[in-house]
Amino acid sequence: MISQKAKYALRALLALAEMESDSISAGELAKGERIPRKFLEQILMELKRDGLIQSRRGVNGGYFLQRPADTITFGQVLRLFDGPIAPLPCLSRVAYRRCADCKDEGACRVRRVFAHVANSARAVLDQTTLADAIADPDSVDRISGLSINAS
């Protein structure tokens, strides 16, 4: 399960990517996306620190994307809020950590199986951008070639 925070962040970014005006305030965003206001503020701060969005202060201030929507992937956002995508520390490329109790990583069968899970998750998340998610709904389905109702 991804955290509520990451979900909010993605929704906020999608809203920013879609807006017509040049910026939107935290308050409006919160109302429009049904995100607790103060919580959203913190999320926006993190997004800003990470260089994904920018802000303007004072009256008529607000937030807007810093980079084009087709350069921001779901994977980046998820890693920022929820940490590594890998299901095991020893499978993370960003934050590799040996499993403390593992005797032989190369021979670990659990690791071997989850490597596939990690790879396919990354294949989707690092390839799907905000722009993909906003565009024609089916375009995102085409990325992985899997139907939403499969399995």
Partner DNA sequence: ACATAGCCTACCAAACGAGTAGGCTATTAA
Partner DNA sequence: TTAATAGCCTACTCGTTTGGTAGGCTATGT
Footprint of a copy of itself on this chain (CB under 8 A)? 1-2, 7, 10-11, 14, 33-35, 74, 83-84, 86-89, 99, 101, 103, 109-110, 112-117, 119-126, 128, 132-134, 137, 140-141, 143-144, 146, 148, 150-151
Task: For the segment 45-64, give every residue that binds DNA (CB under 7 A).
Answer: 45, 48, 55-63
Q: Could you tell me the smallest distance in angstroms from the CB atom of residue 61 to a copy of itself?
A: 25
Q: Binding partner of residue 121 among DNA, a copy of itself, none, CB under 5 to 8 Å per kind?
A: a copy of itself
Cβ–Cβ < 8 Å for 26, 146? no
- What is the DSSP secondary structure assignment for residue 18, as one 8-state letter? H
Task: Compare residues 59 and 100 and give the one whose CB is closer to a copy of itself.
Answer: 100
Q: Binding partner of residue 48 among DNA, a copy of itself, none, CB under 5 to 8 Å per kind?
A: DNA
Residue with structure tokens 């206001």? 37
Q: Per rule CB under 7 A, is residue 103 in the interface with DNA?
A: no
Give CA 45 to chain center in angstroms: 15
Cα→Cα distances 123→22, 31, 100, 127, 128, Å: 32, 33, 28, 6, 9
Q: Could you tell me the smallest distance in angstroms from the CB atom of residue 21 to a copy of itself?
A: 20
Q: How many CA atoms lie within 13 A of 27 on its CB side?
A: 3
The letter for the amino acid at 114 is: F
Q: Binding partner of residue 19 among a copy of itself, DNA, none, CB under 5 to 8 Å per kind?
A: none
Cβ–Cβ < 8 Å for 40, 48? no
Taken as a whole, the chain contains a residue count of: 151
- Contact positions toward DNA, by CB under 7 A? 3-5, 24-27, 36-39, 41-42, 44-45, 48, 55-63, 82
